[in-house]
């Protein structure tokens, strides 16, 4: 026996209601997509403004001079080093640790043409090793020079160099950028908020623009919300693998709204090695002679 199915005809009113409902769903979906895009754009704009303010504050002093003890540590402890532990190693030494000492000078300029000079005095093999940076305020590449006492010659360092400075875990790029990042060379996006050492922090991803010369594929940064200061950074290689972790601690206000870390660690997780920097003396706004930032001073450094 064959059963005959009769199609149910929808009334014009029903069809009209369905069309309205369908259009409403499409409009709602479009609104969600637009709001999502706007939210993402706002996150990028907000992050860009925040990071710009971070480095504006950092560079708002005229100059600074720092005396640093530097430890290069093989197979560092997972917890890192406290100030007391670092001072003990500096004083007494420790197997698997190389102790270095350096003086760092920075002169900040309103046009971002900052100048940086770093001079090593320990160990004996590094004594007299000097590094000089002239930053450029526009798209022009920075100028960098290195003086190696054993060769008695100054050589230019290309911005693209991925070499480590004086056997530490700092690339030449790290020394340059950590004195004031060029925010026009990266895009930033806030991806969350976390606590670092009891401080509320925004989590921001920095991605280099296509024409930016950098050894890193991206960076994940934790920015102190109140101080607007970098607390921690994870640096990833171009393949997306975690390469290094930077931690700043012993943070103090050195001028109104300006903070500095007296203790920092750059850990190379791929080499299982870290470099610990302890600032033992700092002079903000110091009068630094102009000749400190010259090639001649790299060869013939004097008292500053």
DSSP 92: H
Phi, psi of 25 (to 5 degrees): -65, -40
CA distance 222 to 195: 9
Q: What is the pLDDT of residue 30?
A: 46
Q: What is the pLDDT of residues 237-277, one digit of tens each?
A: 999 999 999 999 999 999 999 999 999 999 999 999 999 99
Q: What is the pLDDT of residue 140?
A: 77
Question: What element of type H or E holds 21?
Answer: helix 12-58
Vertex 151, ends 303 and 294: CA angle to 5°?
A: 40
pLDDT band (50, 70, 90) for residue 304: low
Q: Residue ranges per domain, the chain? A: 51-299
Vertex 30, ends 24 and 35: CA angle to 5°?
A: 125
Instruction: Give the residue ranges of DSSP H helices in the chain.
Output: 12-58, 83-92, 172-177, 295-299
Is 161 a residue whose pLDDT tops 90? no
Is 90 a residue whose pLDDT tops 60? yes
pLDDT band (50, 70, 90) for residue 225: very high
Q: What is the pLDDT of residue 24?
A: 57
117 burial (CB, 10 Å; 0-12 / 13-18 / 19+) is buried
Q: Kindly report the average pLDDT of the chain as a whole number.
A: 89
The residues, any chain, with a CB within 8 Å of residue 121's CB and separated by 6 or more, are 101, 102, 103, 127, 128
Q: What is the pLDDT of residue 19?
A: 63
| CATH H-level superfamily of 51-299 | Lipoprotein localisation LolA/LolB/LppX (2.50.20.10)
Q: Respond yes or no on whether the N-terminal peptide bond of residue 123 is cis (omega within 30° of 0).
A: yes
């Amino acid at each position: 026996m064959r059963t005959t199915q009769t199609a149910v005809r929808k009334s014009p009113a029903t069809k009209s209601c369905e069309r309205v409902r369908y259009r409403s769903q499409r409009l709602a979906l479009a609104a969600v997509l637009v709001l999502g895009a706007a939210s993402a754009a706002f996150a990028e704009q907000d992050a860009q403004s925040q990071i710009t303010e971070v480095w504006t504050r950092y560079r708002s002093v005229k100059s600074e001079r720092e005396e640093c003890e530097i430890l290069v540590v093989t197979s560092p402890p997972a917890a890192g080093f406290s100030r007391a532990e670092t001072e003990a190693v500096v004083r007494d030494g420790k197997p698997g640790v190389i102790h270095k000492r350096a003086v760092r000078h920075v002169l900040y300029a309103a046009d971002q043409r900052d100048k940086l000079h770093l001079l090593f005095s320990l160990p004996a093999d590094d004594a007299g090793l000097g590094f000089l940076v002239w930053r450029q305020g526009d798209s022009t590449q920075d100028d960098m020079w290195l003086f190696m006492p054993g060769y008695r010659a100054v050589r230019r360092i290309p911005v693209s160099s991925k070499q480590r400075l004086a056997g530490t875990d700092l690339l030449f790029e790290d020394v340059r950028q950590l004195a004031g990042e060029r925010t026009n060379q990266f895009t930033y996006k806030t991806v969350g908020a976390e606590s670092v050492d009891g401080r509320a922090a925004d989590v921001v991803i920095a991605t280099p623009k296509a024409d930016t010369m950098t050894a890193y594929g991206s960076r994940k940064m934790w920015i102190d919300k109140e101080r607007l200061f970098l607390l921690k950074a994870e640096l990833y290689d171009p393949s997306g693998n975690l390469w290094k972790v930077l931690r700043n601690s012993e943070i103090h206000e050195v001028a109104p709204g300006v903070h500095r870390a007296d203790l920092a660690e750059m850990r190379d997780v791929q080499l299982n090695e870290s470099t610990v920097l302890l600032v033992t003396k700092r002079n903000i706004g110091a009068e630094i002679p102009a000749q400190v930032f010259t090639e001649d001073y790299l060869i013939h450094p004097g008292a500053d």
